[in-house]
Amino acid sequence: MVVTTATRAVRMAAEQFPSEDRALDHEFAAGAEGSLERLYASASRLVYTLALRALGDGAEAEDVTQQTFVSAWRTREGYDPERGSARAWVVGIARRRIADALDARARERRRVEAVAARPEPVAEDPLDGHAQRILVRAEVEGLGPPRNQIVELAFFEGCTHQQISERMDMPLGTVKSHLRRSLIELRRGLEAADASL
């Protein structure tokens, strides 16, 4: 339902763009200096609003808005001003970034549910548990700041993403990105350690 609503809003927004500023479209396609800033000024509010409606989270909407314009600039060779306005093209990119964010959120939810559904482990040798804790702690410390601090706050102190953001004076989206990358790196490190035993 959220995707359908967001898709409908994107289509309506794209249809409303006038074609009066054709100069910006051609300048952006050519990579002219200042054209990205002008395009951002004319379309960023709409991109942010669409992302916020679909995702319901201001920090994620800001991330999607930033990703959209970075992607637009990097892939501007694929934009043809004769096929439509640069603003409409950017909205199309935003729609894909919103879908990516929703997919990432669903994957994260499935991972959390899978971890929660795991059966309780069989009682193990206390020395094995102690060795495992030492190994995990070493892997976390190896992440280096600020990622090790974020992981410690999240998993050892039980802080929420928002609480970590506030305590570390860091944007919420940055906290989530650091945490996601840290978990991937920790998993690889622990798998490598298990394989060497």
The two three-digit tokens of residue 71, written as one number:
């992607």
pLDDT at position 161:
81
Contacts of 148 (CB under 8 A, 6+ apart): 140, 141, 142, 182
Q: State the residue for tokens 């916020």.
A: 52
Residue 192's pLDDT band (boundaries 50, 70, 90)?
low
More confident of the two residues 16 and 22: 22
Are 91 and 150 within one domain?
A: no
**Looking at residue 180, which CATH number applies to its domain?**
1.10.10.10
Residue 92: per-residue pLDDT: 94
Looking at 75, 93, 114, which one is the last position of a domain? Answer: 114
Question: Among 86, 114, 142, which residue terminates a domain?
Answer: 114
Query: What is the chain's Cα-based Rg?
Result: 22
Q: Which domain holds residue 169?
A: 123-196
Give the end of a domain, one of 114, 139, 162.
Answer: 114
- Give backbone dihedrals phi and psi of 119, rounded to 5 degrees, phi first: -70, 155
What are 158-188's pLDDT values in tens digits? 788 888 888 888 888 888 887 788 777 777 7
DSSP string, 141-190: HHT-TTHHHHHIIIIIS---HHHHHHHHT--HHHHHHHHHHHHHHHHHHH
* Whether residues 74 and 127 fall in one domain: no
Q: State the pLDDT at residue 1.
A: 46
Residues 45 and 66: their CA atoms lie apart, in Å, by 11
What's residue 71's pLDDT? 93
The reported pTM is: 0.53
Residues 110 and 29 in one domain: yes
Give residue 19's pLDDT band: very low, low, confident or very high (50, 70, 90): very low
Same-domain check for residues 94 and 185: no
